[in-house]
Chain A
Amino acid sequence: EADIYQTPRYLVIGTGKKITLECSQTMGHDKMYWYQQDPGMELHLIHYSYGVNSTEKGDLSSESTVSRIRTEHFPLTLESARPSHTSQYLCASSSDRKDQPQHFGDGTRLSIL
């Protein structure tokens, strides 16, 4: 079944570590997004990509970076994690039509000690 997959689901790690959050989709979508969300709270767009080699920053300033080398893969990297990065990170994708919904992954809940 077509879906969007995120790993890991939970990550507890120390300050200063380099972290990569993985996101892959089998939806066949070109458009992919990263959101930051504190549990049950607002969704903040931090990065998006409209296709391979295309990445843009979102509305919320983030110290993370992203890459899009393959259509189905959109990883997010934090070079040096800090406690302020503690949050939930949701990956999403959407089709090429502009009046279509976003499809979300299960998220990665990140805790930086």
Chain B
Amino acid sequence: GENVEQHPSTLSVQEGDSAVIKCTYSDSASNYFPWYKQELGKRPQLIIDIRSNVGEKKDQRIAVTLNKTAKHFSLHITETQPEDSAVYFCAAQTGGSYIPTFGRGTSLIVHP
């Protein structure tokens, strides 16, 4: 089955800095890669996703890049703000499944 590795497990940055979270996957059949943000005490929510026919996608301060050859994808957050502090989960999903394989999560702390 699919295996998703996510790094780092904890990331601490100063407000205004950039943050990068990286994930690798094992199944070359994976073609959908969502990212979820979970604030303390709240539900995970989709913040951005990318499909395998696209190499990069941006939405304001966040962007996701996908390298299918190397089987890795990354979340980039620019100009971080304290409200970006949360746990971020990457996931990979194959075309044959409705169920994503999640990474273990990255706790992002943005210091004011």
Q: Chain A's interface: helix, strand, loop or mixed, by majority?
A: loop
Q: Chain A residues with Cβ under 8 A from B40's Cβ?
A: 40
Q: Chain A residues with Cβ under 8 A from B98's Cβ?
A: 31, 50, 94, 98
A99 and B46 CA atoms in complex are apart in Å by 13
Contact partner, A104, options B44, B49, B99, B104, Cβ 8 Å: B44
> How far, in Å, is B105 (CB) from chain A's closest CB?
6
Provided the pairs A40-B87, A42-B105, A50-B98 are in contact, do residues A98 and B42 lie with their beta carbons within 8 angstroms?
no
> Size of chain A's interface in residues, with CB distance under 8 A?
21
A43 and B89 within 8 A (CB)? yes
B93 and A99 within 8 A (CB)? yes
B18-35 Cβ-contact flags toward A at 8 Å (1 or 0):
000000000000011010
A81 and B104 CA atoms in complex are apart in Å by 27
Contact partner, A48, options B99, B104, B105, Cβ 8 Å: B99
A60 and B51 CA atoms in complex are apart in Å by 27
Q: How large is the interface on B (under 10, 10 to 19, 20 to 34, 35 or more residues)?
A: 20 to 34
Provided the pairs A40-B38, A41-B105, A42-B105 are in contact, do residues A99 and B95 lie with their beta carbons within 8 angstroms?
yes
Contact partner, A102, options B31, B51, B100, B105, Cβ 8 Å: B100
Smallest CB-CB A-B distances: 9 pairs: A99-B32, A104-B43, A101-B46, A101-B34, A43-B102, A104-B44, A40-B87, A42-B104, A106-B43
Chain A interface residues toward B at CB < 8 A: 31, 33, 40-43, 45, 48, 50, 90, 94, 98-107
CB<8 Å pairs between A and B, sample of 7: A42-B104, A42-B105, A90-B44, A98-B93, A99-B31, A99-B32, A100-B32
20 extra interchain contacts, Cβ-Cβ under 8 A, other than A43-B89, A102-B100?
A40-B38, A40-B40, A40-B105, A42-B102, A42-B104, A43-B44, A43-B102, A45-B99, A50-B98, A90-B44, A94-B98, A98-B93, A98-B95, A98-B96, A98-B97, A98-B98, A99-B95, A102-B46, A103-B46, A104-B43
